Amino acid sequence: MARELRARFGITPHAARRLANRQIAIGGAMALVGAGVSAAGIGSVAAGVPFGMAGALLIAIGLRARSIGVAVQVVNKAYNLAASGQREDAAELLDYAEATCRSRYVLRVIDVQRALAAMQRGDLAGALARADAAVTRRTDPLSFHLEHATIAAARSLKALLRASTSDRDGAAADIEFVRTSALASPEVLARAELAAAVLLERSGDREALRAHLLRERGLLVEHTRPRERALVRAYQRMLKAKASSVYRTGAKREPEAGGELSAADWAARISPDAAPFMRAPAMAAGGVEELSRAEVDRADASARAAAEGRAGSNRQPVTKAARRVLLLWVALVMLFLGVWQLLSSDRAPPVAPEVERLPAEPIFGPLSIVLALPIIFIVMLVGAVLVNMARARKLSQRFMAAQVAVAKGEEQRGKGELEALTRSMVPAAAAQAHLALAELSERQGELPAALAACEAGLARLGTAAARAMAADILLPALLAERAFLFAAMDRRADARAEMALLAERYASYPFLERARMRVALALRAREGDIAGAARLTERDADLPLNARDELLADVCRAAASPGAAGAGEVERLREELRLDAASRRWLSAVAPAALAAFERLREQGDAEALAGAEALAETEALAEAEALAERAGVRPPDAGAA
């Protein structure tokens, strides 16, 4: 079953598998040495016990790494499939992972994914049960910071679900937990703040809701998922709307064939009064053009060779920091041996002068050193695990604090902390900070600086061990960001080659389809194919695009078909580009042709046509709502009703 699933979904062996196999082999060899020492009676039968213990410890670590590596790949692949609309395949992979995995951390992640899927289907009770299971599972002390970050994510999801079911006390407790968590990411905080907005909306306090949306705008717009962001914008429209509005006559629809609710129907389950103000792109009448993987995965020979060369150039020999760590461990070993020699010195009682002294046998001989090595190894390994756990937790807290500071507008403080983290001795922590700086530079439209940060992050993952440990998310995220930057900087061949490399080596990357979409969207927008870029985003999927990618898609749709977009949507985009200088700067750097095509709408005198199209759309919506209400036997509200 496992082999069949891996072949069907293209899941390749984990990058850390070779390292885990090496650990298992070394552990097996040490266990055999221990058995041989005991069987030979060297020193005593118990002399081989330390070798056996050290070998068993290494074997256990290797087996755990292999098991978790496979489970993480399956869960990541399931996330990518669900985001791209292949929900049945995603559920099948999660079923397999849940049945075979023993890692409490991975099972907790599965709970969160199941809760998200249930919420998108409108099954709020099932989603709440899964989110609660993610919170109440026992934690694994070996992955403390990962466990608690996932618990914070589950609590934010519980907050939104409880707010949608009017459980005010429970939602408030979950929101407070997330706000005070040191390991809550900006996305997790954003969902908690959205839950607070739902509570305010359901209480009817519109002024408090308006103040909350304004105060937390950075989190709510930049770090929410697409549907959640659409709900935030629905609140903004609702607060601007007059008491009489055609949008308030919308009717509830049944789930689609795949069990997934539309954005408006999903919002109706979370916040019913906001649902009529939801706007989501409509599907094309004749079927939607699928995103061709060959479009971003194809690469000519020279570009592919260049991509391979970039990947190879980032592999570096042992760094100075690694040498210092190695020298420190050698010094500790020598210190341990010295202390042991001192404590094991044989203080013989004084003897009479007339007794002839026999030559003393060496107390600290070669055999003693050999037998002490496994004990030293165990002490060092346990010490390294404890030190790494404490350091990982501290670095994670610093990184999350920096990210949250940037998300809340304290950019200089957050950027300074990220720059400090790039000097960390832990390669993964430094590379993660470089990636965050690359994303920050990209958001500001500084594409060369973003590319330089990507290169620096990849350079910190220069060793085989570092790359293996970062192979699930961090390393492919750096490659995906570099591919997007190549596309945005008109380096089309390099962008396609980078994506081909990413798809080949990291097929289980959970954001692979999002990376494909971002690169394809940037490529078409840079080439001036605005209509093609617009068609790419009209798909039955829920890709976790960020606010800027969504803005580019909206601008392309409006520029390609202003009548279909509607006057209200065009005016919203104009207002956003006018008020948000950073978004306009990003769009000007990434897709100047799309921005120019959108701005030509006003020059072409389309305002009247847009207004007419909007009026026609409102009339049709009102007629449809009245017809639905009449069939249901309910009198529709008057146009002037509150």
pLDDT at 379 over 80: no
Q: Tens digit of pLDDT for each residue in 220-241?
A: 988 998 889 989 988 988 887 7
Whether the Cβ atoms of residue 103 and residue 150 lie closer than 8 Å to each other: no
Q: What is the mean pLDDT of residues 111-116?
A: 95
Task: For residues 71 and 79, give the distance between their C-alpha atoms in angstroms, rounded to a whole number.
Answer: 12
pLDDT of residue 45: 53
Task: For residues 544 and 515, give the distance between their C-alpha atoms in angstroms, rounded to a whole number.
Answer: 10
Q: What is the mean pLDDT of residues 367-391?
A: 69
Of 95, 158, 168, 106, the residue nearest 127 (C-alpha) = 158
Task: For residues 2 and 505, give the distance between their C-alpha atoms in angstroms, rounded to a whole number.
Answer: 19
pLDDT at 284 over 60: no
DSSP string, 478-547: HHHHHHHHHHHTT-HHHHHHHHHHHHHH-TT-TTHHHHHHHHHHHHHHHHT-HHHHHHHT-SS------H
Q: Tens digit of pLDDT for each residue in 203-224?
A: 989 999 999 999 998 899 889 9
Percent of the chain with pLDDT over 90: 38
- Residues of the chain by 3-state class (helix, strand, coil), percent to 5: 75, 0, 25
Which of the two residues, 58 and 415, has the higher pLDDT score?
415
Task: For residues 472 and 79, give the distance between their C-alpha atoms in angstroms, rounded to a whole number.
Answer: 12
Instruction: Give the type of residue at 626.
Output: E
584's CB contacts (< 8 A; 6+ apart) are: 577, 578, 595
* pLDDT band at 429; cut points 50, 70, 90: very high
DSSP string, 264-322: HHHHHHH-GGGGGG---PPPPTT-PPP--HHHHH---HHHHHHHHHHHHHT-----HHH
pTM recorded for the entire structure: 0.80
pLDDT of residue 564: 77
Whether the Cβ atoms of residue 230 and residue 242 lie closer than 8 Å to each other: no
495's CB contacts (< 8 A; 6+ apart) are: 296, 483, 484, 486, 487, 519, 522, 523
Task: For residues 20 and 13, give the distance between their C-alpha atoms in angstroms, rounded to a whole number.
Answer: 12
Which of the two residues, 85 and 597, has the higher pLDDT score?
597
pLDDT of residue 335: 53
Whether the Cβ atoms of residue 106 and residue 71 lie closer than 8 Å to each other: yes
Q: Tens digit of pLDDT for each residue in 559-585?
A: 988 877 777 788 888 888 888 888 999
pLDDT of residue 28: 85
For the ranges 31-40, 120-129, 243-252, which has the lowest average pLDDT? 243-252
Whether the Cβ atoms of residue 545 and residue 584 lie closer than 8 Å to each other: no
Q: What are the DSSP E strand ranges found in 337-484?
A: none
